[in-house]
Amino acid sequence: RISAFFWGIGILVAISTYTANLAAFLTVKHVDNSISSPEDLLGQTEISYGTIRNYATWVSFKTTTTEPYKSLGVVMQANEESVLVDNLQEGLDKMRTEKYALFADSAELDYHASRKPCDLQFIGRLFWQTGYGIFLPKNSRYTMEFNRVIVAAKERGVFDALDAKWIKSQECSGTKKTVLESSVIGLQDMLGVFVLVYGGMALALIVLIGEFVYK
């Protein structure tokens, strides 16, 4: 009876813990993920969005025919004076002081979002991806050698290592958890349940031994 009692209490606590975490996750999930893609910016007015004036990104927004970027560009043109910034630093300051989202080069955004004060977040997918090239004279005897070295470096993960070293810092790793991460129930969260159940089993065993000894 003692074992059954503590087992029942343990199951009740485990179910209560799971239910509480699930309720918290469902309650705040929509807030945490309210803006997760460019499409989410359309149809809402709480968060303004823009880009850097005279950057190629701004030209692309004005000339593209692809949705949702065309519609985003139309909105930005209608509010050009208030949503466009003159440089990246102005955009970073605007994000920190206002409800504002900035479209810019992913490497620049990644660099600042991964460094202190850790108050910026990189969201959404990459789009309008472009590459960088090296100019050589036409029919240069070094062309094939450059191509070979670049391809080999990419295959060995050299570029990924450079990106991790110089762009994506570890300064902000672990400072913020997403709602999903914070809602995961780990073994340490259930430690009390195991202590309760095994403690009850130990008590039941002691009582059982006592009954045999003094019977």
Taking each continuous run of H as one helix and of E as one strand, the counts in the chain are: 11, 2
pLDDT per residue of the chain (215 residues) written in tens, 0 to 9? 666 776 677 677 777 766 766 665 555 444 445 678 888 899 888 899 999 999 989 999 999 999 999 999 999 999 999 999 999 999 999 999 999 999 999 889 989 988 888 888 888 888 888 777 888 999 899 999 999 999 999 999 998 898 888 888 877 775 554 444 444 555 565 666 677 777 777 887 887 787 777 76
Q: How many CB atoms lie within 10 A of CB 6?
A: 19
Q: What is the CATH number of domain 33-184?
A: 3.40.190.10
Point out the annotated binding site: 57, 105
Beta strands in the chain (DSSP E): 48-51, 100-103
Binding-site annotation: residue ranges for L-glutamate: 57, 105
Cα-Cα-Cα-Cα dihedral sign, residues 45, 47, 51, 57: negative
Model pTM score: 0.60
Query: So where are the chain's domains?
Result: 33-184
By DSSP bridging, strand 100-103 and strand 48-51 are parallel
